[in-house]
Amino acid sequence: MYSIKDYQHTLNKTIDIKKALDLWQSYSDDMYTLYKPYLLNKKVLLIGAGHLTDFPMSKLLNQVSNITIYDIDKDAMSLGLKAQNINEDEITFLTGDITSLDNVNFFEQVVLLLQAKDLEGIKRFFRIISHMNLDLSINSKYDLLIISPFYTQLLLPQYLMYLNEFIIKPKHNEYLEPLLNLISKLINKINEQLINCINDYGKIIIMSDYLEFILDDPKYLEIKNNKLEIEKYYQKYLVKYGQGLGSYGQTNLTEKTKSINHSWHWWPFNEKKVLLVKLSILEKVKVEKDGI
């Protein structure tokens, strides 16, 4: 009833795929131009596939040797492929929960604890969860990993929904802190496992959302066309407010790999808001095993 799978499915269903394809086209084409040199004849795993609206799928399929797409929402992937007239036979589907937390009915427990306003219980529960093993069940190795923005989707929006329902506003921060702690540990484990799915010296193309602006925000209008200003603005923001999950996830992955390049992009999410996305190209470094 409170599963992550149902939550993400309901959220994905609110998106008009055809509209998003139009709105996001130049955003996805711009990024494609940057990572195209890394695609040729590669075996690719794409994480956070969703409707695949941020990928020009025919162009991508023309380059790679094969592609596996991963998301918790199989329907979203099917609908997304249909919208781009791609035959499902050209793709391998992998449906899975990257957190593995639906297996332990995570949000059912969380809702019970929030209903009881049991902050100590929440802390205890999250401590136990943070020690759980994570198994993404991705049993193959790939040359290239492509990651569509997903860190900011992990647990937080769903938790905030229940928090708004059961806990009064002044207490929210007390209840948020243990969750953010848990998510950061989870992201570290997810990133380790994702890196394990790539061959030595394989590449990672990662897109992650850092900030969100309303389209008529004067700050956005001031910096939108100037990449240097974006970098400067973000650095100041970082000092003042610290990292969000999108930035934390990408930085954590970058620290475990070698960075080749990065660029900033505006993701015109809908008619009202735009997200600042960082695209990074990373390389898996080979870990030498100690000889005895």
Ligand X SMILES: C[S@@+](CC[C@H](N)C(=O)[O-])C[C@H]1O[C@@H](n2cnc3c(N)ncnc32)[C@H](O)[C@@H]1O
By the rule CB under 6 A, 53 interacts with ligand X: yes
Of 48 and 202, which has the nearer Cβ to ligand X?
A: 48
Least separation in angstroms between residue 117's CB and ligand X is: 26
Residue 166 Cβ vs ligand X, minimum distance, rounded to whole Å? 22
What residues from 91 to 120 belong to the interface with ligand X (CB under 6 A)?
Answer: 97-99
DSSP, collapsed to helix, strand or coil, labels residue 146 as: strand
- Spatial distance between the Cα atoms of 154 and 150, rounded to a whole number of angstroms: 7
Q: How many residues does the chain have?
A: 292
* 8-37 footprint of ligand X as x/- string (CB under 6 A): x---x-------------------------
Residue 178 binds to ligand X (criterion: CB under 6 A): no
66's enclosing H/E stretch is: strand 66-71
Q: How far is it, in rounded angstroms, from Cα 200 to Cα 283?
A: 9
Which residue from 21, 35, 67, 73 is in contact with ligand X, where contact means CB under 6 A? 73
Distances (CA, A) of 199 to 31, 176, 258, 283, 287: 23, 37, 14, 10, 11
What's 244's DSSP letter? -
Q: To 10 degrees, what angle do helices 156-166 and 172-196 make?
A: 160
Residue nearest to ligand X (CB): 50
Closer residue to ligand X, CB minimum distance, 54 or 143? 54
Q: Which residues of 37-68 are buried (b: 16+ CB within 10 A; e: fewer)?
A: ebbeebbbbbbbbbbbbbbbbeebbebbeebb
In the complex with ligand X, the residue whose CB is nearer, 76 or 204, is 76
Among 204, 179, 178, 181, residue whose Cα is nearest residue 192:
204
Residues numbered 125-154 forming contacts with ligand X, rule: CB under 6 A = 148-150, 153-154
Amino acid residing at 87 = N
**Among residues 39, 54, 122, 203, the one that binds ligand X under rule CB under 6 A:** 54
Q: Does 274 bind ligand X (CB under 6 A)?
A: no
Binding residues for ligand X, total number by CB under 6 A: 22
Residue 73 or residue 143: which is nearer to ligand X going by CB?
A: 73
| 197 interacts with ligand X by CB under 6 A | no
Binding site for ligand X (CB under 6 A): 4, 8, 12, 48-54, 71-73, 76, 97-99, 148-150, 153-154
